[in-house]
Amino acid sequence: MTIETIASPGSVRTAAEPGRISLYRAIWRWHFFAGLLVIPFLLNLAITGSIYLFDEEIDQTFFASRNVVAPAGTPLSPSTIVDMAMAALPGATVTAYRTPAGPDRSARVTLDAAAGSTLVFVNPYSGAVLDQVVAAQEFNQVVEDLHSLDYFGKPVERIIEIVAGFAILLVFTGIFLWWPRQQTGGVVTVRGTAARRVFWRDLHAVTGIFSAGLIVFMAFTGLLWSGYWGANVNSTLTAAGYGYPAALWDDVPPSTRVTKDVLSKTGWLIENAPLPASTIAAKATEPAAAIGLDRAVEIADRAGMLPGYEMAVPSGETGVYTAAIFPDHLAHERTIHIDQYSGKPLVDLSWRQYPAVGRAIEWGINVHLGQEWGLFNQLLMLATCLAIVLACVSAVVMWWKRRPTGRLGVPPMPERRSVYIGLWALAIVFGLAFPLTGLAIVVMIVVDQLAGRLSSQVRPVHSGN
* Long-range Cβ contact pairs of 345-353 (< 8 A, separation 24 or more): 345/299, 345/303, 346/252, 346/276, 346/278, 346/320, 347/248, 347/249, 347/252, 347/276, 348/248, 348/303, 349/244, 349/245, 349/248, 349/270, 351/267, 353/245, 353/248
- Could you tell me if 35 and 454 are in contact, meaning their C-beta atoms sit under 8 angstroms apart? no
Q: Phi first, then psi: give them for residue 364, nearest 5 degrees.
A: -60, -40
Instruction: Give the chain's mean pLDDT.
Output: 89
Task: List every span in the chain annotated with CATH 3.10.450.
Answer: 70-144
* Out of 14-23, 239-248, 262-271, 456-465, least confident range: 456-465
> In CATH, what class is 70-144?
alpha beta
Least confident of 149-153, 188-192, 236-240, 279-283: 279-283
Residue 168 clears pLDDT 90, i.e. is over it = yes
pLDDT digits (tens, 9 = 90+) for 302-313: 999 999 999 999
Separation between Cα atoms, residue 240 and residue 345, nearest integer Å: 26
| DSSP one-letter code for 11 | G
The answer to whether 65 and 58 are in contact (CB under 8 A) is: no
Beta strands in 260-342 (DSSP E): 274-276, 310-312, 320-325, 334-339
Rounded distance between C-alpha atoms, residue 387 and residue 381, angstroms: 10
State in Å, rounded, how far the first CA of the chain is from the last one.
Answer: 17
Write out pLDDT tens, residues 73-96: 999 999 999 999 999 999 999 999
Of 52-56, 121-125, 413-417, the one with minimum mean pLDDT is 413-417
Interacting residues of 54 by C-beta distance below 8 A, sequence separation 6+: 370, 378
Lowest mean pLDDT among 5-9, 157-161, 389-393: 5-9
Helices (H), 53-103: 55-61, 64-67, 78-88
What single DSSP character describes residue 416? -
Q: What's the CA dihedral at 276, 281, 287, 289 to 10 degrees?
A: -70
Q: Which residues contact 331 (CB under 8 A, 6 or more apart)?
A: 351, 352
For 390-457, strand residue ranges (E) read none
Q: Which tens digits make up the pLDDT trace of 240-297?
A: 999 888 888 888 888 889 999 999 999 999 999 999 999 986 655 666 789 999 999 9
CB atoms within 10 A of CB 27: 20
Residue 99 has pLDDT above 60, yes or no: yes
Dihedrals φ, ψ of 132, to 5°? -145, 140
CB atoms within 10 A of CB 464: 9
CB 42 within 8 A of CB 435: no
Model confidence pLDDT, tens digit, residues 200-218 = 999 999 999 999 999 999 9
- H runs (alpha helix) in 403-434: 419-433
Element at 122 (helix H, strand E): strand 116-122
Q: C-alpha 366: how far from its chain's center?
A: 10
